[in-house]
Amino acid sequence: MKIISRWTALFILCIGSITASAQDVMIARSLLAFPEAMSSLQNSIIDHKYTLSRVQRVDIGLKKAGFKTDLYRVVFFGKQEELKWISDTHPELSAYLPLKFAIFAEKDETVVVALNPVLYSEIADEKKLNVIYKRWAEDIKSIMSEFRKSE
C-alpha cells in the first residue's frame, strides 16, 4: 500500500501554483490530535480576522488512489473584501485565492503547511499587493506559531 508524505500534501496544496523552494514553504507541527489541531487552526484563523471559506476533505480521494492516509484537509480562508478587490484588479491571482493551509496527521503529530504568499509577487508585482502579501505571510507565521503552542 502506498504511504503519502507531507510533501505529497504540499503538492496537493500547491497544485497549479508557482514553483516553490524549501524556504517558500511554511510548516508547523503540533502534538495535538488531528481534531483538536484542526479546531485550534480554525480558531487562530478567525482570531486573526480572517473568514474561513471552506474545509475540503482530501483523504477520501487519496484512499481511492491506493494511498494509506491519516486525516487530510485543505482549509481555505481570507478577507472577503480584500480577495474580491484582488480578484477584480488582478484576475491572474484568482487561481491562488483564497489563502489555504493543508493540515494532516502524520504519526503522532498534526502538520500544517502553507505556501509563503510573498511568492505571489512573481505573478503580480505591485507595491500595494506586495504589502498585502507580506501581511499575509506574517499572519500565517503568527497562526502557525499559535498552532505550535496550542499543545
Cβ–Cβ under 8 Å, residues 59 and 71: yes
Give residue limits of the domains in the chain: 2-149
Cβ–Cβ under 8 Å, residues 119 and 24: yes
pTM: 0.82
Model confidence pLDDT, tens digit, residues 2-61: 444 544 444 445 444 445 554 689 999 999 999 999 999 999 999 999 999 999 988 777
Please tell me the distance from the alpha carbon of residue 37 to that of residue 105, in angstroms, as a whole number. Answer: 9
Q: Which CATH number fits domain 2-149: 3.40.1000.10, 3.30.310.70, 3.40.50.720, 3.40.1160.10?
A: 3.30.310.70
